[in-house]
């Protein structure tokens, strides 16, 4: 921590290697008190007698003393970030515009083994959207981390077989500068400013709220993973705001030989993981959430950036540093194994003890059920994608996620409908594999609705019959829709789940799938290499041509039989000791 409570006061430290002077700024209401800090190498120090827990503070440097800067190691903020054009204009004071860090005493450290490990169902949750419309959650608690510990929420998670929740970003973020003029805001959170401070709207109780919720989920047999963003910060490009690292340690951002900011994340800047200081901040953040909140692990957004220096290196230092860390080495680590930079697609190339989001699974499964994919490709994905990961299944398999069409929209829209985002429908993935069953969008025709329902059930059943770790985005089990918007990051209310209007039959179908998967122990164990028997739907052995042309297959495992029939639009998962039910 860079604000450490000591006897009689607080020690403040901050790294600012290029500064000629740094001031600690203490706030009592709107009154600011500046204290010159003393340099020791790249780090600046100030001891303040009489300061205590709850003291609000920031920093300023001589590069532009008008800009108040947030402590990169802050763990508590007094309010959320809000974009203002003055944040990027030099020599305009921003003290009234920037959240203040709050001195916070650490909680007693936790030392718990991970509850969740590879295998099982990960349930991806947008914390705010998940409970904003939940009728059983008290209104004052809706949209917060604490709401995830509500008995009604936990009961739902248990019913559909959730092994771990994966919380989309919960640290404080700022809206991209083009959104406020459009009356929009970032509803996903993938634009953080400092990596440890929880967003006050999501966690009004701070780190203690996250810790209490993680404990309640753990008591229910459910692990917790955090989706963290280390590929960039909300300071964006040179037209972006000056909020923290830009004013304190601008070398944290990767630059090309000509000095321009590298933009491998597509957000205006990229953190430079060739820098030991960037890696140290990352490791400090991970340790903070393990010891202070007890989380089981992490999913890393655009994780390829973390192994760049500037090119991707599968032996990048960050991997060895995490593996050697006594606090982190047993945590679950999940990579989103791509970014938009040169050589940015690195599926299958992360360390062998990491899991990886498998978009090849999503695409091949969707193609099969759309009618233009092969049984062979589906079989490879169903069994854990050995072509990508070898015998040990490291895939996180999913058919839909927060980014892209919802599961229901995948079979109801053939093209994106993102006009509300204010970018003339140019944003979001243009080539997403989706189909509309003959009519674009919402439709009351019984035949169309039945076809869509059959497609969704087939996709869900395929997912639950897949070897290894699987992922379901919250609400896809009961028909969440974004009306064809496949880039809903800027549509806060559109993301809110409709608990009252949910498809309860589909939810029950998923609960039954979860029970069947739980009875097939081999499916969730990534270490098991299956002794599989593959048959045609007529019971005869699969021939070479069948892998390309057959409409399905029968897969026999030691503890289950899986039947895939594209013509009937069904997948059956039958544990060896249970009757077959489609």
Positions annotated as catalytic residues are 301, 336
Question: How many CB atoms lie under 10 A from the CB of residue 207?
Answer: 20
Contact 72, 45 (CB under 8 A): no
Provide the b/e sequence for 499-533 (b: ≥16 CB within 10 Å): beebbeebbebbbbbbbbbbbbeebbebebebeee
Q: Please list the residues that pair with 57 across neighbouring strands.
A: 26, 101
Q: CA distances (Å), 520 to each of 362, 386, 517, 541, in order?
A: 22, 20, 5, 23
Rounded to 5 degrees, φ, ψ at 572 are -115, 135
Q: How far apart are CA 103 and CA 4, in angstroms?
A: 8
Helix, strand, or coil here: 395? strand
Only one residue has tokens 């169902």, namely 121
The tokens of 393 are what?
């299944």
Furthest C-alpha separation in the chain: 82
Whether the CA torsion 110, 113, 115, 119 is positive or negative: it is: positive
Question: Residue by residue, what is the 3-state secondary structure of 25-46?
Answer: EEEECCEEEEEECEEECCEEEE
Q: CA distances (Å), 201 to each of 224, 438, 557, in order?
A: 20, 42, 47
Cβ-proximal residues to 326 (8 Å cutoff; 6+ apart), any chain:
none
Query: Cα 502–505–508 angle (5° rounding)?
Result: 100
The tokens of 362 are what?
């999503």
Of 389, 406, 397, the closest CA to residue 350 belongs to 389
Q: What's the chain's length in residues? A: 582
- Which burial class, exposed, middle or buried, applies to 233 when counting CB atoms under 10 A from its CB (0-12, 13-18, 19+)? buried
Q: How far apart are CA 462 and CA 225, in angstroms?
A: 24
Q: How far apart are CA 372 and CA 549, in angstroms?
A: 10
Helix, strand, or coil here: 499? coil
Whether the CA torsion 383, 386, 391, 393 is positive or negative: it is: negative
Contact 562, 382 (CB under 8 A): yes
- Which burial class, exposed, middle or buried, applies to 494 when counting CB atoms under 10 A from its CB (0-12, 13-18, 19+)? middle
The tokens of 530 are what?
């299956």
Of 38, 44, 70, 162, the closest CA to residue 475 belongs to 162
Q: How far apart are CA 345 and CA 7, in angstroms?
A: 51
């Amino acid at each position: 921590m860079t604000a450490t409570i000591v006897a009689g006061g607080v020690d403040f430290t901050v790294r600012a290697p290029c500064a000629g002077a740094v001031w600690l700024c203490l706030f009592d209401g709107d009154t600011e008190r500046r204290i010159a800090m003393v340099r020791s190498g790249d780090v600046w120090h100030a001891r303040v007698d009489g300061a205590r827990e709850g003291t609000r503070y920031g920093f300023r440097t001589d590069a532009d003393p008008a800009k108040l800067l947030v402590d990169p190691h802050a763990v508590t903020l007094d309010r959320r970030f809000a974009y203002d054009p003055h944040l990027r204009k030099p020599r305009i004071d921003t003290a009234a515009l920037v959240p203040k860090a709050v001195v916070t005493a650490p909680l007693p450290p936790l030392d718990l083994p991970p509850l969740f490990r590879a295998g099982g169902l990960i349930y991806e949750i947008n914390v705010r959207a998940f409970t904003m419309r939940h009728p059983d959650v008290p209104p004052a608690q809706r949209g917060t981390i604490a709401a995830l510990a509500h008995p009604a929420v936990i009961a739902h998670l248990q019913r559909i077989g959730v092994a771990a929740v994966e919380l989309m970003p919960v640290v404080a973020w700022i809206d991209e500068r083009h959104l406020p003029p459009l009356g929009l805001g970032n509803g996903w959170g993938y634009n953080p400013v400092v990596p440890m401070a929880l967003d006050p709207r999501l966690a009004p109780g701070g780190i203690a709220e996250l810790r209490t919720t993680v404990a309640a989920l753990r008591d229910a047999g459910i692990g917790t993973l955090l989706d963290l963003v280390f590929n960039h910060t909300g300071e964006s490009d040179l037209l972006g705001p000056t909020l923290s690292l830009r004013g304190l340690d601008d070398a944290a951002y990767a630059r090309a030989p000509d000095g321009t900011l590298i933009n491998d994340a597509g957000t205006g800047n990229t953190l430079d993981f060739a820098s030991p200081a960037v890696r140290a901040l990352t490791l400090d953040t991970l340790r903070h959430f393990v010891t202070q909140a007890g989380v089981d692990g992490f999913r890393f957004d655009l994780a390829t950036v973390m192994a760049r220096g500037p090119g991707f290196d599968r032996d990048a230092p960050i991997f060895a540093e995490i593996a050697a860390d006594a606090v982190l080495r047993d945590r679950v680590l999940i990579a989103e194994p791509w970014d938009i930079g040169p050589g940015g697609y690195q599926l299958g190339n992360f360390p062998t003890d990491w899991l990886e989001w498998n978009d090849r699974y999503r695409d091949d499964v969707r193609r099969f059920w759309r009618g233009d994919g092969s049984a062979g490709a589906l079989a490879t994905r169903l069994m854990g994608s050995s072509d990508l990961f070898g015998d040990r299944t490291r895939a996180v398999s999913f058919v839909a996620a927060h980014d892209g069409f919802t599961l229901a929209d995948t079979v109801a829209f053939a093209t994106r409908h993102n006009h509300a985002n204010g970018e003339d429908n140019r944003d979001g993935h243009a080539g997403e594999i989706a189909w509309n069953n003959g009519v674009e969008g919402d439709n009351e025709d019984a035949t169309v609705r039945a076809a869509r329902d059959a497609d969704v059930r087939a996709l869900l059943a395929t997912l639950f019959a897949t070897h290894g770790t699987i992922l379901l985005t919250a609400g896809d089990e009961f028909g969440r829709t974004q009306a064809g918007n496949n880039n809903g990051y800027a549509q806060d209310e559109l993301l809110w789940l409709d608990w009252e209007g949910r498809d309860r039959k589909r939810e029950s179908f998923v609960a039954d799938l979860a029970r069947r998967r739980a009875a097939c122990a081999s499916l969730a164990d990534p270490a098991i290499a299956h002794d599989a028997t593959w048959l045609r739907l007529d019971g005869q052995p699969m021939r070479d041509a069948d892998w390309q042309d057959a409409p399905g297959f029968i897969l026999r495992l030691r503890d289950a039989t899986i039947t895939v029939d594209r013509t009937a639009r069904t997948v059956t998962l039958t544990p060896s000791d249970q009757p077959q039910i489609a």
